[in-house]
Copies of this chain bind each other. A is one copy, B any other.
Amino acid sequence: MGNFQVRTDLALEARESISEADSELRGVRVEEYYREKEDVKVTKVMIDTKNAAKAMGKPVGIYVTMEAPAMVEPDEDYHREISQCIAEELLKLIPGADKEQSVLVVGLGNREVTADSLGPQAIDNLFITRHIVREFGKAAYNCEKVNQVSSLEPGVMARTGMETAEIVKGVVEETAPDVLIVIDALAARSIRRLNRTIQITNTGIQPGSGVGNHRNALTLESLGVPVIAIGIPTVVDAATIVSDALEKLLEEEKELDVVKYVSRQETGFAELNNMYMTGKDIDAVIKRVSFTVSEGINIAMEMRMD
């Protein structure tokens, strides 16, 4: 499709898109395994070189994608087995996770827009310890090792007048955490991945991705501490879905002039910008998956205490 940009926040989808053209992309390694007990398929995409990063449209780093079809269905509670997977994969990506650390968890997104409220809602259920440890010492928890967990909901620029990166940077400099965990709602290319895929990456957050695009870079380079990003795709870009539908059609109808179509698309679908597509039960889904994510972080933080 040439230079028409398909928008996805999932490295998994970016790679699928690319491998069609170039099935042996250098600098990108992929590992897959299946966690049978939890029915979770884990795909680890490692982008090793700058060239590969450019081809993928994603920075160098590790992207762990967990496909958990069960997550979108209600169980009795919130899928604790998936939280357990999140905890384990998360700890593999946090540098120094075997030591006691101070961890700041940032919930990106807009609480007032259901599909964009994953980050803020996940923050609501975290087990916050930093203020207790600092006031009463570790004795408060009767453990030898206790992480100091704090959280921040920076809000969106339309309400704050500030870039998310400005707020996060200020708070990081003032409170000096050892590591950042950033939670955000993502955009997928495929409807099938909505709300049942979790991506954990050690590359942080780059400008131009996410539902509301409400921030600049939150990365090791910009903040000076490792940044682990946890995301779940909750929306599909409207332009992407229309483009995909057209593309399928075009593939079958060879007589159509693709160039003409692409240019028409770029002018004709301008009104689709700033639109997104999401499911009708998004409120119940976000409530549930945000709890799965926050419990994943809670479990990870406790596991390190031992």
A interface residues with partner B (beta carbon < 8 Å): 110, 112-115, 123-124, 128-132, 148-153, 155, 157-163, 166-167, 169-175, 191-192, 211-212, 236, 238, 241-242, 245-246, 248-249, 253, 255-256, 261, 264, 268-269, 271-272, 274-284
Contact = CB atoms under 8 A, between A and B. Distances in A.
Nearest to A287: B112
B241 A131 contact: no
A149 B160 CA distance: 9
Contacts of A272: 191, 241
A87 to B, nearest CB: 15
Contact of A245 (B153, B160, B171, B269): B269
Given A171-B166, A245-B242, A256-B253, A275 B128 contact: no
Give the 9 A-B residue pairs with the shortest CB-CB distance, closest first: A170-B170, A170-B174, A150-B161, A130-B161, A112-B283, A128-B161, A170-B171, A277-B277, A242-B245
Contacts of A151: 159-161
Contact of A128 (B158, B171, B211, B245): B158
A220 to B, nearest CB: 18
B173 A131 contact: no
A174 B165 CA distance: 10
A162 B12 CA distance: 36
Given A131-B161, A160-B151, A174-B167, A192 B271 contact: yes
Contacts of A163: 131
A264 B162 CA distance: 47
Given A112-B283, A275-B280, A173 B175 contact: no
Contacts of A253: 253, 256
7 contacts: A113-B114, A151-B160, A153-B155, A166-B171, A170-B174, A238-B241, A277-B277
B280 A261 contact: no
A149 B161 CA distance: 7
Contact of A148 (B158, B161, B211, B261): B161
A146 to B, nearest CB: 12
B160 A238 contact: no
B275 A249 contact: no
Contacts of A130: 161-162
A81 to B, nearest CB: 16
